[in-house]
Amino acid sequence: MAKQQDEQEFPVYLFTGFLESGKTKFIKETLADPKFNAGEKTLLVVCEEGIEEYEEDQPYMGNVTVVTYNDPSEMTEERLQAKAKRSGAERMIVEYNGMWNLNDFFLAMPAEWIIYQLMFFADANTILNYNTNMRQLVAEKIQACDMAVFNRVSPDTDKDALHRLVRQLSRGANIIYEHRDGTIEYDEVEDPLPFDLNAPVVEIEDRDYALFFRDISEEPKKYEGKTVRFKGIIAKDDRIPKNLFVAGRHIMTCCEADIAYNGFACVWEGAPSLKSYDWRLITATVKIEKCAIYKQKGPVFYAQSVELCPEPEQKVATFY
């Protein structure tokens, strides 16, 4: 679980999930593992009280300082830095309250601290209900996680539904099922993309734009040199070079409140003639390079054709 640490880095291990999802149990087992805990001073931030507690008299807790926050407003950058400095911590473990917005923690975390691992824990018997009633809170945790762990799995558990829940939000997260007897099962189901990356022109159907955007954002290198065709809304800005424009669509991750425009930087000599809000069918070759729009490396679409087209039946793209 631990990564090799650079001298300037302050690692943060972030564990999210709702009450009684197995976070405390996992953290205790992790701290008791000498492969992870070889005496490093650790700041343990606890954001909720469950049935299971930390026994500070346990040998593996000797180098651990426990801090409790009862409200996200209490967790500020200044307080976190002060707690880390006072304890002499070399790293931090956070048991994060599933009812809190994850972005509150990211805003409070000092810029030089680094998320080494983010794991999401869920009771396999209740998570689908949580997802129905609190979709946004569930979605943000799964989208950000490196690994999703579903515990209390039984023969009656609908693992296909759990798999879909994760894959609708993240193609990169590992999925683990922990059965009631403690045995671990890794989800090894392969999810083929709904478009052919080996085709001369990768055709992105209207219904697949959200999946395409997520996939190229997570694994841009595999699109290098590919020719792609997709439908998008044009966005122009006088502050960017004349031959640049943005083409994309509004994507809904979990609910109407989180609908956002997600597009790509495009290069085309005819860009000055384009109008914002027009729907266009773009055929372009992808290059991964630095761009003024991204302010870093990203997929830049060198357009071969930019044609007027009708808007799709469903203007807001979703993950199905």
Residue 238 and residue 154 share a domain: no
Mean pLDDT rounded to a whole number for the chain: 93
Q: What percent of the chain has pLDDT over 70?
A: 96
SS3 306: strand
Structure token pair of residue 76: 């500020």
The answer to whether residue 3 sits within a structural domain is no
CATH of residue 24: 3.40.50.300
> Is the pLDDT higher at 318 or at 302?
302
pLDDT in the model for residue 8? 65
Identify the domain boundary among 186, 214, 244: 186
pLDDT in the model for residue 9? 83
Identify the domain boundary among 155, 186, 217: 186
* CB neighbour list of residue 26: distance below 8 Å, 6 or more residues apart: 15, 119, 121, 149
Largest CA-CA distance found in the chain, in angstroms, rounded: 71
Q: Is the pLDDT of residue 292 over 90?
A: no
Identify the domain boundary among 159, 186, 213: 186
The answer to whether residue 195 sits within a structural domain is no
Q: Is the pLDDT of residue 276 over 70?
A: yes
pLDDT in the model for residue 4? 46
Task: List 287's β-bridge partners, or say none.
Answer: 300
Mean pLDDT on 172-191:
93
Indicate the residue type of 13.
Answer: Y
Q: What percent of the chain has pLDDT over 90?
A: 82
